[in-house]
Amino acid sequence: MTEPHQAGFKSIPIEMQPGTYQWCACGLSKNQPFCDDSHIGTSFEPVEVVITEARKYSWCACKGSSKKPFCDGSHKQLPEFVAYMEMIAVQAAPIQAGNI
Ligand code: FES
pLDDT in tens, 1-45: 899 999 998 999 999 999 999 999 999 999 999 999 999 999 999
**The Cα angle at residue 91 between residues 85 and 97, in degrees rounded to 5:** 140
Domain count, the chain: 1
What pTM was estimated for this model as a whole? 0.82
Classify residue 7: in a domain, yes or no: no
Q: Is the CB of 36 inside a 6 Å radius of any atom of ligand 1?
A: yes
Classify residue 5: in a domain, yes or no: no
Q: Is the CB of 28 inside a 6 Å radius of any atom of ligand 1?
A: yes
Tell me the average pLDDT of the chain.
91
pLDDT for res 100? 55
Q: Which domain holds residue 41?
A: 12-95
Q: Is the CB of 71 inside a 6 Å radius of any atom of ligand 1?
A: no
Q: 3-state DSSP: the chain helix, strand, coil percent, rounded to 5?
A: 20, 20, 55
Classify residue 33: in a domain, yes or no: yes
pLDDT for res 95? 64
Q: Residue 98's pLDDT band (boundaries 50, 70, 90)?
A: low
Classify residue 80: in a domain, yes or no: yes
Instruction: Give the whole-number percent of the chain exceeding pLDDT 90.
Output: 72
Residue 99, pLDDT > 60, answer: no
Classify residue 54: in a domain, yes or no: yes
Classify residue 4: in a domain, yes or no: no
Mutation choice for ligand 1 from 44, 48, 59, 60, CB with most ligand atoms inside 8 A: 44
Neighbours of 86 (CB within 10 A): 10
